[in-house]
Chain A
Protein backbone atom coordinates (compact mmCIF):
# COMPACT_ATOMS: atom_id res chain seq x y z
CA UNK A 1 0.00 0.00 0.00
CA UNK A 2 1.20 3.48 -0.77
CA UNK A 3 -0.48 6.76 0.08
CA UNK A 4 -0.85 9.36 -2.67
CA UNK A 5 -0.20 13.02 -1.95
CA UNK A 6 -3.94 13.60 -2.27
CA UNK A 7 -4.62 11.00 0.42
CA UNK A 8 -2.10 12.67 2.72
CA UNK A 9 -3.98 15.95 2.34
CA UNK A 10 -7.27 14.17 3.01
CA UNK A 11 -5.96 12.52 6.19
CA UNK A 12 -4.48 15.81 7.37
CA UNK A 13 -7.87 17.42 6.88
CA UNK A 14 -9.63 14.60 8.77
CA UNK A 15 -7.16 15.20 11.61
CA UNK A 16 -7.62 18.98 11.35
CA UNK A 17 -3.92 19.61 10.87
CA UNK A 18 -2.88 22.17 8.27
CA UNK A 19 -0.04 20.93 6.05
CA UNK A 20 1.87 22.87 3.44
CA UNK A 21 2.76 21.28 0.10
CA UNK A 22 6.36 20.61 1.21
CA UNK A 23 5.23 19.18 4.57
CA UNK A 24 2.80 16.92 2.73
CA UNK A 25 5.66 15.55 0.64
CA UNK A 26 7.91 14.67 3.60
CA UNK A 27 4.89 13.36 5.54
CA UNK A 28 4.02 11.14 2.59
CA UNK A 29 7.48 9.55 2.68
CA UNK A 30 7.39 8.97 6.43
CA UNK A 31 3.83 7.63 6.48
CA UNK A 32 4.55 5.24 3.63
CA UNK A 33 7.57 3.91 5.53
CA UNK A 34 5.38 3.34 8.57
CA UNK A 35 2.63 1.69 6.52
CA UNK A 36 5.22 -0.64 5.01
CA UNK A 37 5.95 -1.80 8.57
CA UNK A 38 2.24 -2.12 9.35
CA UNK A 39 1.61 -4.13 6.17
CA UNK A 40 3.28 -7.18 7.77
CA UNK A 41 -0.04 -7.70 9.54
CA UNK A 42 -1.87 -8.43 6.31
CA UNK A 43 -0.11 -11.78 5.82
CA UNK A 44 -1.58 -13.14 9.06
CA UNK A 45 -4.71 -15.27 8.99
CA UNK A 46 -6.86 -14.02 11.86
CA UNK A 47 -10.14 -15.59 10.84
CA UNK A 48 -12.18 -16.46 13.90
CA UNK A 49 -9.97 -14.46 16.27
CA UNK A 50 -11.94 -12.14 18.54
CA UNK A 51 -10.55 -8.57 18.35
CA UNK A 52 -8.95 -7.49 21.64
CA UNK A 53 -9.78 -3.88 22.46
CA UNK A 54 -8.47 -4.02 25.95
CA UNK A 55 -6.13 -5.86 28.29
CA UNK A 56 -8.84 -6.51 30.85
CA UNK A 57 -12.21 -7.85 29.80
CA UNK A 58 -14.23 -5.33 31.77
CA UNK A 59 -17.65 -3.88 31.28
CA UNK A 60 -18.29 -0.19 31.76
CA UNK A 61 -18.71 0.61 35.41
CA UNK A 62 -21.80 2.63 36.31
CA UNK A 63 -22.09 5.12 39.12
CA UNK A 64 -25.05 6.58 40.94
CA UNK A 65 -26.59 9.55 39.12
CA UNK A 66 -25.65 12.12 41.74
CA UNK A 67 -23.55 15.27 41.67
CA UNK A 68 -19.99 14.27 42.52
CA UNK A 69 -17.94 17.25 41.36
CA UNK A 70 -17.75 20.76 42.71
CA UNK A 71 -18.19 23.79 40.47
CA UNK A 72 -14.73 24.87 39.28
CA UNK A 73 -15.80 26.87 36.28
CA UNK A 74 -13.65 29.89 37.12
CA UNK A 75 -10.48 27.78 37.55
CA UNK A 76 -11.11 25.96 34.26
CA UNK A 77 -11.90 29.12 32.31
CA UNK A 78 -8.81 30.85 33.67
CA UNK A 79 -6.66 28.62 31.45
CA UNK A 80 -8.67 29.09 28.24
CA UNK A 81 -7.21 31.08 25.30
CA UNK A 82 -10.22 33.43 25.14
CA UNK A 83 -13.28 33.74 27.37
CA UNK A 84 -15.89 36.41 27.94
CA UNK A 85 -18.75 36.50 30.45
CA UNK A 86 -18.22 32.85 31.32
CA UNK A 87 -18.25 31.75 27.67
CA UNK A 88 -15.48 30.32 25.49
CA UNK A 89 -14.91 32.57 22.50
CA UNK A 90 -14.41 31.08 19.01
CA UNK A 91 -14.75 32.60 15.53
CA UNK A 92 -18.31 33.16 14.37
CA UNK A 93 -19.84 30.01 12.85
CA UNK A 94 -23.41 31.15 12.21
CA UNK A 95 -24.07 34.24 10.11
Chain B
Protein backbone atom coordinates (compact mmCIF):
# COMPACT_ATOMS: atom_id res chain seq x y z
CA UNK B 1 0.00 0.00 0.00
CA UNK B 2 2.90 2.37 0.74
CA UNK B 3 4.01 2.48 -2.89
CA UNK B 4 0.59 2.03 -4.47
CA UNK B 5 -0.67 4.42 -7.13
CA UNK B 6 -3.76 6.53 -6.44
CA UNK B 7 -5.73 4.32 -8.81
CA UNK B 8 -4.67 1.21 -6.87
CA UNK B 9 -5.55 2.89 -3.57
CA UNK B 10 -8.92 3.89 -4.99
CA UNK B 11 -9.62 0.32 -6.08
CA UNK B 12 -8.50 -1.10 -2.72
CA UNK B 13 -10.81 1.31 -0.88
CA UNK B 14 -13.74 0.55 -3.20
CA UNK B 15 -13.21 -3.21 -2.80
CA UNK B 16 -13.03 -2.77 1.02
CA UNK B 17 -9.55 -4.33 1.08
CA UNK B 18 -8.56 -1.48 3.34
CA UNK B 19 -10.46 1.33 5.03
CA UNK B 20 -9.51 4.98 4.81
CA UNK B 21 -8.88 4.93 8.57
CA UNK B 22 -6.40 2.05 8.17
CA UNK B 23 -4.72 3.70 5.21
CA UNK B 24 -4.49 7.04 7.01
CA UNK B 25 -3.06 5.36 10.12
CA UNK B 26 -0.48 3.58 7.96
CA UNK B 27 0.84 6.90 6.64
CA UNK B 28 0.55 8.64 10.04
CA UNK B 29 2.77 5.87 11.44
CA UNK B 30 5.33 6.49 8.72
CA UNK B 31 5.23 10.23 9.46
CA UNK B 32 5.88 9.40 13.14
CA UNK B 33 8.86 7.27 12.22
CA UNK B 34 10.54 9.34 9.54
CA UNK B 35 9.48 12.95 10.04
CA UNK B 36 11.93 13.54 12.91
CA UNK B 37 14.72 12.96 10.34
CA UNK B 38 13.17 14.62 7.29
CA UNK B 39 11.20 17.52 8.87
CA UNK B 40 8.77 17.35 5.95
CA UNK B 41 5.69 18.24 8.02
CA UNK B 42 5.21 21.34 10.14
CA UNK B 43 1.86 20.26 11.55
CA UNK B 44 0.35 16.80 11.98
CA UNK B 45 -2.97 16.29 13.74
CA UNK B 46 -3.80 12.58 13.83
CA UNK B 47 -7.22 13.15 15.43
CA UNK B 48 -8.29 15.51 12.65
CA UNK B 49 -6.94 13.22 9.92
CA UNK B 50 -8.61 10.15 11.38
CA UNK B 51 -11.92 12.00 11.74
CA UNK B 52 -11.74 12.91 8.04
CA UNK B 53 -10.87 9.29 7.24
CA UNK B 54 -13.92 8.07 9.20
CA UNK B 55 -16.10 10.49 7.23
CA UNK B 56 -14.57 9.16 4.00
CA UNK B 57 -15.27 5.58 5.07
CA UNK B 58 -18.89 6.57 5.73
CA UNK B 59 -19.12 8.05 2.23
CA UNK B 60 -17.68 4.87 0.74
CA UNK B 61 -20.12 2.75 2.76
CA UNK B 62 -23.03 4.95 1.64
CA UNK B 63 -22.01 4.53 -1.98
CA UNK B 64 -21.39 8.20 -2.71
CA UNK B 65 -17.61 8.15 -2.87
CA UNK B 66 -15.57 9.71 -5.66
CA UNK B 67 -12.41 8.22 -7.14
CA UNK B 68 -10.19 9.89 -4.57
CA UNK B 69 -12.43 9.59 -1.48
CA UNK B 70 -10.49 8.22 1.46
CA UNK B 71 -7.02 8.65 -0.02
CA UNK B 72 -4.61 10.51 2.28
CA UNK B 73 -2.77 13.56 0.98
CA UNK B 74 -0.22 16.05 2.34
CA UNK B 75 -1.09 19.74 1.99
CA UNK B 76 1.54 22.42 1.57
CA UNK B 77 1.33 24.78 4.54
CA UNK B 78 0.54 27.70 2.24
CA UNK B 79 -3.11 26.62 1.98
CA UNK B 80 -5.44 27.94 4.66
CA UNK B 81 -7.34 25.03 6.16
CA UNK B 82 -10.04 25.72 8.73
CA UNK B 83 -9.02 24.68 12.22
CA UNK B 84 -5.48 23.80 11.10
CA UNK B 85 -2.46 25.83 12.04
CA UNK B 86 -1.38 27.44 8.77
CA UNK B 87 2.12 28.92 9.01
CA UNK B 88 3.42 29.46 5.47
CA UNK B 89 6.81 28.49 6.95
CA UNK B 90 6.99 31.77 8.87
CA UNK B 91 7.28 32.92 12.46
CA UNK B 92 4.77 35.60 11.38
CA UNK B 93 2.07 32.91 11.20
CA UNK B 94 3.52 30.37 13.64
CA UNK B 95 0.34 30.45 15.75
CA UNK B 96 -2.18 31.26 13.02
CA UNK B 97 -5.12 28.86 13.01
CA UNK B 98 -7.06 29.52 9.84
CA UNK B 99 -10.74 30.43 10.23
CA UNK B 100 -11.52 29.30 6.67
CA UNK B 101 -10.61 26.84 3.92
CA UNK B 102 -8.73 27.67 0.74
CA UNK B 103 -10.73 26.68 -2.34
CA UNK B 104 -8.15 23.98 -3.12
CA UNK B 105 -8.64 22.51 0.35
CA UNK B 106 -12.42 22.70 0.09
CA UNK B 107 -12.46 21.03 -3.32
CA UNK B 108 -9.99 18.29 -2.42
CA UNK B 109 -11.28 17.51 1.05
CA UNK B 110 -14.96 18.45 1.27
CA UNK B 111 -15.81 17.62 -2.35
CA UNK B 112 -13.38 14.89 -3.47
CA UNK B 113 -13.04 13.35 0.01
CA UNK B 114 -9.24 13.30 0.18
CA UNK B 115 -7.93 13.01 3.75
CA UNK B 116 -5.34 15.56 4.90
CA UNK B 117 -2.34 14.00 6.68
CA UNK B 118 -1.01 17.40 7.72
CA UNK B 119 0.68 20.55 6.55
CA UNK B 120 4.06 20.33 4.84
CA UNK B 121 7.15 22.40 5.42
CA UNK B 122 8.15 25.05 2.90
CA UNK B 123 10.42 28.01 2.33
CA UNK B 124 9.08 31.00 4.23
CA UNK B 125 6.20 32.51 2.21
CA UNK B 126 7.37 30.24 -0.66
CA UNK B 127 10.50 32.35 -1.11
CA UNK B 128 13.35 29.96 -1.67
CA UNK B 129 14.61 27.03 -3.73
CA UNK B 130 15.99 24.78 -0.99
CA UNK B 131 13.50 24.86 1.90
CA UNK B 132 16.23 26.40 4.04
CA UNK B 133 14.36 29.67 4.65
CA UNK B 134 11.61 27.94 6.67
CA UNK B 135 11.22 29.21 10.25
CA UNK B 136 10.61 25.55 11.14
CA UNK B 137 14.02 24.40 9.92
CA UNK B 138 15.19 22.84 6.68
CA UNK B 139 13.66 19.74 5.11
CA UNK B 140 16.08 16.94 4.27
CA UNK B 141 16.07 15.14 0.94
CA UNK B 142 15.13 11.45 1.42
CA UNK B 143 17.65 10.52 -1.29
CA UNK B 144 20.50 12.00 0.77
CA UNK B 145 19.68 13.64 4.08
CA UNK B 146 22.71 15.95 3.79
CA UNK B 147 21.08 17.52 0.75
CA UNK B 148 18.16 19.88 0.16
CA UNK B 149 14.84 18.66 -1.27
CA UNK B 150 14.49 21.83 -3.34
CA UNK B 151 11.91 24.48 -2.69
CA UNK B 152 9.71 26.08 -1.99
CA UNK B 153 7.45 22.96 -1.87
CA UNK B 154 10.30 20.97 -0.27
CA UNK B 155 8.22 19.40 2.50
CA UNK B 156 5.62 18.13 0.04
CA UNK B 157 8.37 16.71 -2.19
CA UNK B 158 10.20 14.97 0.66
CA UNK B 159 6.95 13.61 2.11
CA UNK B 160 5.91 11.96 -1.15
CA UNK B 161 9.42 10.77 -2.06
CA UNK B 162 9.76 9.08 1.36
CA UNK B 163 6.20 7.74 1.04
CA UNK B 164 4.99 9.58 4.13
CA UNK B 165 2.06 10.47 1.88
CA UNK B 166 0.80 9.01 -1.41
CA UNK B 167 0.70 12.50 -2.97
CA UNK B 168 0.81 16.19 -2.06
CA UNK B 169 -0.10 19.67 -3.15
CA UNK B 170 2.45 22.30 -4.04
CA UNK B 171 2.51 25.84 -5.36
CA UNK B 172 4.78 27.20 -8.07
CA UNK B 173 5.67 30.89 -8.46
CA UNK B 174 9.07 30.44 -10.13
CA UNK B 175 9.59 26.68 -10.05
CA UNK B 176 8.45 25.68 -6.56
CA UNK B 177 6.62 22.53 -7.73
CA UNK B 178 8.89 21.49 -10.59
CA UNK B 179 12.33 22.00 -9.00
CA UNK B 180 11.63 20.03 -5.77
CA UNK B 181 9.87 17.36 -7.87
CA UNK B 182 13.06 17.07 -9.94
CA UNK B 183 15.33 16.92 -6.88
CA UNK B 184 13.18 14.26 -5.14
CA UNK B 185 12.23 12.07 -8.15
CA UNK B 186 8.57 13.09 -8.34
CA UNK B 187 6.18 14.06 -11.07
CA UNK B 188 4.93 17.60 -10.52
CA UNK B 189 2.66 19.84 -12.53
CA UNK B 190 2.21 23.60 -12.53
CA UNK B 191 -1.00 24.34 -14.43
CA UNK B 192 -1.71 27.28 -16.72
CA UNK B 193 -2.10 30.43 -14.64
CA UNK B 194 -5.74 30.86 -13.64
CA UNK B 195 -6.79 27.20 -13.81
CA UNK B 196 -6.56 26.50 -10.06
CA UNK B 197 -8.09 28.99 -7.62
CA UNK B 198 -5.71 31.07 -5.50
CA UNK B 199 -8.37 31.82 -2.86
CA UNK B 200 -6.94 30.97 0.55
CA UNK B 201 -3.51 30.21 -0.85
CA UNK B 202 -1.30 32.68 0.99
CA UNK B 203 -0.16 35.14 -1.67
CA UNK B 204 3.48 35.62 -2.67
CA UNK B 205 3.40 37.02 -6.24
CA UNK B 206 -0.20 37.06 -7.35
CA UNK B 207 0.38 37.22 -11.11
CA UNK B 208 2.63 34.14 -10.97
CA UNK B 209 1.38 31.90 -8.10
CA UNK B 210 -0.32 28.70 -9.19
CA UNK B 211 -1.08 25.50 -7.26
CA UNK B 212 -0.66 21.99 -8.61
CA UNK B 213 -0.15 18.33 -7.73
CA UNK B 214 3.08 16.51 -6.77
CA UNK B 215 2.95 12.74 -6.96
CA UNK B 216 4.68 9.56 -8.05
CA UNK B 217 3.35 9.51 -11.60
CA UNK B 218 1.65 11.53 -14.33
CA UNK B 219 -1.48 9.44 -13.86
CA UNK B 220 -1.63 10.35 -10.16
CA UNK B 221 -1.13 14.02 -11.07
CA UNK B 222 -3.97 13.87 -13.61
CA UNK B 223 -6.37 12.41 -11.03
CA UNK B 224 -5.40 15.07 -8.48
CA UNK B 225 -5.62 17.91 -10.98
CA UNK B 226 -9.19 16.87 -11.76
CA UNK B 227 -10.02 17.51 -8.10
CA UNK B 228 -8.21 20.89 -7.89
CA UNK B 229 -9.35 22.92 -10.90
CA UNK B 230 -12.43 24.99 -11.59
CA UNK B 231 -13.71 28.54 -11.77
CA UNK B 232 -13.89 30.34 -8.44
CA UNK B 233 -15.62 33.68 -8.10
CA UNK B 234 -13.48 34.34 -5.00
CA UNK B 235 -10.32 34.54 -7.14
CA UNK B 236 -10.41 37.58 -9.42
CA UNK B 237 -8.07 35.91 -11.93
CA UNK B 238 -9.79 32.51 -11.95
CA UNK B 239 -10.69 31.48 -15.49
CA UNK B 240 -14.16 30.41 -16.58
CA UNK B 241 -13.59 27.40 -18.79
CA UNK B 242 -15.55 24.24 -19.61
CA UNK B 243 -14.61 21.36 -17.30
CA UNK B 244 -12.20 18.79 -18.72
CA UNK B 245 -10.99 15.36 -17.67
CA UNK B 246 -7.21 15.47 -17.42
CA UNK B 247 -7.03 11.67 -17.64
CA UNK B 248 -8.71 11.54 -21.04
CA UNK B 249 -5.60 11.58 -23.22
CA UNK B 250 -3.18 9.67 -20.98
CA UNK B 251 -2.90 6.65 -23.28
CA UNK B 252 -2.74 8.52 -26.58
CA UNK B 253 0.23 7.36 -28.71
CA UNK B 254 3.03 9.89 -29.18
CA UNK B 255 3.65 9.21 -32.88
CA UNK B 256 4.05 12.52 -34.66
CA UNK B 257 4.59 14.56 -31.46
CA UNK B 258 6.89 17.49 -32.21
CA UNK B 259 9.28 18.24 -29.34
CA UNK B 260 10.87 21.68 -29.31
CA UNK B 261 14.35 21.87 -27.82
CA UNK B 262 15.25 25.47 -26.93
CA UNK B 263 18.91 25.94 -27.78
CA UNK B 264 19.24 28.25 -24.75
CA UNK B 265 18.39 25.32 -22.42
CA UNK B 266 21.00 23.03 -23.96
CA UNK B 267 24.01 25.32 -23.76
CA UNK B 268 26.36 26.05 -20.88
CA UNK B 269 25.22 26.34 -17.29
CA UNK B 270 23.84 22.84 -16.82
CA UNK B 271 25.66 19.96 -15.17
CA UNK B 272 26.87 17.69 -18.04
CA UNK B 273 25.58 14.50 -16.38
CA UNK B 274 22.15 16.07 -15.83
CA UNK B 275 22.17 17.11 -19.47
CA UNK B 276 23.10 13.56 -20.54
CA UNK B 277 20.08 12.17 -18.63
CA UNK B 278 17.81 14.76 -20.27
CA UNK B 279 19.16 13.89 -23.73
CA UNK B 280 18.63 10.18 -23.04
CA UNK B 281 14.99 10.91 -22.16
CA UNK B 282 14.55 12.79 -25.43
CA UNK B 283 16.06 9.82 -27.30
CA UNK B 284 13.46 7.64 -25.57
CA UNK B 285 10.74 9.96 -26.86
CA UNK B 286 12.11 9.55 -30.38
CA UNK B 287 11.74 5.79 -29.95
CA UNK B 288 8.11 6.42 -28.99
CA UNK B 289 7.56 8.17 -32.31
CA UNK B 290 8.24 11.81 -31.48
CA UNK B 291 10.40 14.11 -33.59
CA UNK B 292 12.57 16.95 -32.33
CA UNK B 293 13.05 20.44 -33.65
CA UNK B 294 15.39 23.15 -32.40
CA UNK B 295 13.55 26.24 -31.18
CA UNK B 296 14.79 29.46 -29.63
CA UNK B 297 13.77 31.40 -26.53
CA UNK B 298 16.16 34.31 -27.13
CA UNK B 299 15.09 36.30 -24.06
CA UNK B 300 15.10 33.41 -21.59
CA UNK B 301 18.37 34.61 -20.02
CA UNK B 302 16.41 37.66 -18.85
CA UNK B 303 13.79 35.64 -17.00
CA UNK B 304 15.66 35.52 -13.67
CA UNK B 305 16.39 39.29 -13.62
CA UNK B 306 12.81 40.19 -14.64
CA UNK B 307 11.37 37.75 -12.11
CA UNK B 308 13.43 39.26 -9.28
CA UNK B 309 11.77 42.60 -9.97
CA UNK B 310 8.20 41.43 -10.59
CA UNK B 311 7.92 38.79 -7.84
CA UNK B 312 9.40 41.01 -5.06
CA UNK B 313 7.25 43.97 -6.21
CA UNK B 314 4.10 41.88 -5.86
CA UNK B 315 5.38 40.34 -2.61
CA UNK B 316 6.06 43.73 -1.02
CA UNK B 317 2.45 44.64 -1.69
CA UNK B 318 0.96 41.29 -0.64
CA UNK B 319 3.00 41.05 2.56
CA UNK B 320 2.08 44.55 3.70
CA UNK B 321 -0.96 42.88 5.29
CA UNK B 322 1.27 41.41 8.01
CA UNK B 323 1.28 44.32 10.41
CA UNK B 324 0.56 42.71 13.76
CA UNK B 325 -2.98 44.10 13.98
CA UNK B 326 -5.60 41.62 12.75
CA UNK B 327 -3.73 38.30 12.85
CA UNK B 328 -0.24 36.92 13.04
CA UNK B 329 2.76 37.90 15.09
CA UNK B 330 2.97 41.11 17.12
CA UNK B 331 6.21 42.23 18.81
CA UNK B 332 6.23 42.35 22.62
CA UNK B 333 7.54 45.87 23.11
CA UNK B 334 7.00 48.96 21.00
CA UNK B 335 6.84 52.71 21.45
CA UNK B 336 4.01 53.63 19.07
CA UNK B 337 1.98 52.32 16.12
CA UNK B 338 4.71 52.75 13.52
CA UNK B 339 7.23 51.14 15.86
CA UNK B 340 4.80 48.24 16.36
CA UNK B 341 4.67 47.64 12.61
CA UNK B 342 8.45 47.94 12.21
CA UNK B 343 9.30 45.61 15.11
CA UNK B 344 6.56 43.06 14.37
CA UNK B 345 7.74 42.77 10.77
CA UNK B 346 11.45 42.80 11.71
CA UNK B 347 10.95 39.98 14.21
CA UNK B 348 8.26 38.05 12.32
CA UNK B 349 9.92 37.79 8.91
CA UNK B 350 13.12 35.92 8.06
CA UNK B 351 16.07 37.40 6.16
CA UNK B 352 15.10 36.27 2.64
CA UNK B 353 11.53 37.52 2.98
CA UNK B 354 12.80 40.90 4.22
CA UNK B 355 15.21 41.13 1.29
CA UNK B 356 12.45 40.52 -1.22
CA UNK B 357 10.07 42.98 0.45
CA UNK B 358 12.79 45.61 0.36
CA UNK B 359 13.63 44.96 -3.31
CA UNK B 360 9.94 45.25 -4.08
CA UNK B 361 9.55 48.48 -2.11
CA UNK B 362 12.53 49.93 -3.97
CA UNK B 363 11.51 48.98 -7.53
CA UNK B 364 8.02 50.36 -6.94
CA UNK B 365 9.23 53.59 -5.37
CA UNK B 366 9.09 56.99 -7.01
CA UNK B 367 11.83 57.44 -9.59
CA UNK B 368 12.58 53.74 -10.04
CA UNK B 369 9.23 52.37 -11.16
CA UNK B 370 9.83 52.91 -14.90
CA UNK B 371 13.43 51.74 -14.93
CA UNK B 372 12.77 48.55 -12.99
CA UNK B 373 9.15 47.54 -12.71
CA UNK B 374 7.91 48.61 -16.15
CA UNK B 375 11.11 47.42 -17.83
CA UNK B 376 10.64 44.00 -16.16
CA UNK B 377 7.04 43.86 -17.38
CA UNK B 378 8.15 44.69 -20.93
CA UNK B 379 10.74 41.92 -20.78
CA UNK B 380 8.04 39.63 -19.45
CA UNK B 381 6.12 40.30 -22.68
CA UNK B 382 9.22 39.48 -24.78
CA UNK B 383 9.66 36.20 -22.89
CA UNK B 384 5.99 35.25 -23.36
CA UNK B 385 6.22 36.13 -27.08
CA UNK B 386 9.24 33.84 -27.45
CA UNK B 387 7.07 30.90 -26.34
CA UNK B 388 4.26 31.88 -28.74
CA UNK B 389 6.80 31.84 -31.56
CA UNK B 390 8.36 28.52 -30.43
CA UNK B 391 4.98 26.77 -30.23
CA UNK B 392 4.43 27.51 -33.94
CA UNK B 393 6.88 24.73 -34.75
CA UNK B 394 6.40 22.28 -31.86
CA UNK B 395 3.75 20.77 -29.56
CA UNK B 396 5.73 20.57 -26.37
CA UNK B 397 9.04 22.05 -25.19
CA UNK B 398 11.56 19.96 -23.28
CA UNK B 399 14.75 20.59 -21.33
CA UNK B 400 16.20 20.17 -17.86
CA UNK B 401 14.08 21.22 -14.87
CA UNK B 402 17.08 22.20 -12.76
CA UNK B 403 20.72 22.78 -13.76
CA UNK B 404 21.97 20.35 -11.08
CA UNK B 405 20.88 17.51 -8.84
CA UNK B 406 20.10 18.23 -5.17
CA UNK B 407 22.80 20.40 -3.62
CA UNK B 408 24.13 20.17 -0.06
CA UNK B 409 22.37 21.90 2.81
CA UNK B 410 24.08 25.25 3.34
CA UNK B 411 25.84 25.18 -0.03
CA UNK B 412 23.93 28.14 -1.49
CA UNK B 413 22.23 29.52 1.62
CA UNK B 414 24.66 32.42 2.05
CA UNK B 415 24.44 33.68 -1.54
CA UNK B 416 20.92 34.67 -2.67
CA UNK B 417 21.97 35.11 -6.32
CA UNK B 418 23.38 31.56 -6.57
CA UNK B 419 20.15 30.26 -5.06
CA UNK B 420 18.05 32.26 -7.55
CA UNK B 421 19.94 30.74 -10.48
CA UNK B 422 18.78 27.23 -9.52
CA UNK B 423 15.42 28.24 -11.06
CA UNK B 424 16.96 29.36 -14.34
CA UNK B 425 14.91 26.92 -16.47
CA UNK B 426 11.60 27.17 -14.64
CA UNK B 427 10.97 30.90 -14.12
CA UNK B 428 10.23 31.82 -17.77
CA UNK B 429 7.27 29.43 -17.70
CA UNK B 430 5.68 31.33 -14.77
CA UNK B 431 6.29 34.70 -16.40
CA UNK B 432 4.49 33.47 -19.53
CA UNK B 433 1.75 31.76 -17.47
CA UNK B 434 2.20 28.43 -19.27
CA UNK B 435 1.74 24.92 -17.83
CA UNK B 436 4.92 23.02 -16.97
CA UNK B 437 5.87 19.65 -15.52
CA UNK B 438 8.88 17.87 -14.14
CA UNK B 439 9.23 14.15 -14.78
CA UNK B 440 11.92 11.83 -13.34
CA UNK B 441 14.40 10.88 -16.10
CA UNK B 442 17.48 9.42 -14.45
CA UNK B 443 19.83 9.24 -11.51
CA UNK B 444 23.25 10.91 -11.34
CA UNK B 445 25.44 9.77 -8.46
CA UNK B 446 22.33 8.30 -6.85
CA UNK B 447 20.41 11.59 -7.10
CA UNK B 448 17.31 12.20 -9.23
CA UNK B 449 17.20 14.26 -12.41
CA UNK B 450 14.04 15.93 -13.73
CA UNK B 451 12.98 16.44 -17.34
CA UNK B 452 10.94 19.61 -17.78
CA UNK B 453 7.96 19.61 -20.15
CA UNK B 454 6.38 22.93 -21.11
CA UNK B 455 3.06 23.02 -22.92
CA UNK B 456 0.99 25.66 -24.63
CA UNK B 457 -1.77 27.41 -22.65
CA UNK B 458 -4.33 24.90 -21.31
CA UNK B 459 -2.35 21.91 -22.68
CA UNK B 460 -2.26 20.12 -19.29
CA UNK B 461 -3.97 16.99 -20.66
CA UNK B 462 -1.39 16.80 -23.44
CA UNK B 463 1.54 17.30 -21.03
CA UNK B 464 0.16 14.54 -18.80
CA UNK B 465 -0.18 12.28 -21.85
CA UNK B 466 3.42 12.99 -22.88
CA UNK B 467 4.66 12.28 -19.35
CA UNK B 468 2.50 9.18 -18.91
CA UNK B 469 3.65 7.47 -22.12
CA UNK B 470 7.27 8.00 -21.08
CA UNK B 471 6.47 6.49 -17.68
CA UNK B 472 4.94 3.45 -19.42
CA UNK B 473 8.23 2.93 -21.27
CA UNK B 474 10.67 3.69 -18.42
CA UNK B 475 10.81 3.11 -14.67
CA UNK B 476 12.75 6.13 -13.38
CA UNK B 477 9.60 7.41 -11.62
CA UNK B 478 9.33 4.14 -9.69
CA UNK B 479 12.79 4.40 -8.13
CA UNK B 480 12.62 5.05 -4.40
CA UNK B 481 15.25 6.25 -1.93
CA UNK B 482 16.76 3.52 0.28
CA UNK B 483 16.42 3.12 4.04
CA UNK B 484 12.76 4.05 4.41
CA UNK B 485 11.10 0.62 4.50
Contact = CB atoms under 8 A, between A and B. Distances in A.
Interface string A12-29: 111111110000000100
A86 interface: no
Contacts of A44: 299, 302, 375, 379, 382
B193 interface: yes
22 contacts: A14-B361, A16-B323, A34-B355, A37-B304, A37-B305, A39-B305, A41-B305, A41-B306, A41-B375, A44-B302, A53-B377, A55-B194, A55-B207, A56-B239, A58-B194, A76-B326, A76-B327, A79-B96, A80-B325, A80-B327, A90-B325, A90-B340
Contact of B337 (A19, A40, A46, A90): A90
B362 interface: yes
A56 B433 contact: yes
B327 A49 contact: no
B365 A14 contact: yes
B236 A56 contact: no
A49 B219 CA distance: 40
Name which of A34, A52, A61 has the most chain B CB atoms within 10 A of its CB: A52
A16 B342 contact: yes
Interface string B294-306: 0000010110111
The range of chain A's interface size is 35 or more
Interface of B: 96-97, 99-100, 192-194, 207-208, 233, 236-237, 239, 299, 301-302, 304-306, 308-309, 316, 320, 323-330, 334-343, 345-346, 349, 354-355, 357-362, 365, 371-372, 374-382, 384, 415-417, 420, 431-434
A51 B375 CA distance: 7
A76 B207 CA distance: 27
A15 B384 CA distance: 31
A16 B99 contact: no
A11 to B, nearest CB: 5
B324 A37 contact: no
A48 B346 CA distance: 41
A40 B355 contact: no
A51 B374 contact: yes
A52 B381 CA distance: 5
B308 A37 contact: yes
Nearest to A79: B327
Given A11-B365, A34-B417, A75-B99, 4 more contacts: A51-B381, A79-B97, A80-B326, A81-B329
A11 B325 contact: no
A38 B308 contact: yes
B345 A18 contact: yes
Nearest to A83: B326
Contacts of A56: 193-194, 237, 239, 433
A37 B307 CA distance: 11
A76 B99 contact: yes
Contacts of B434: 55
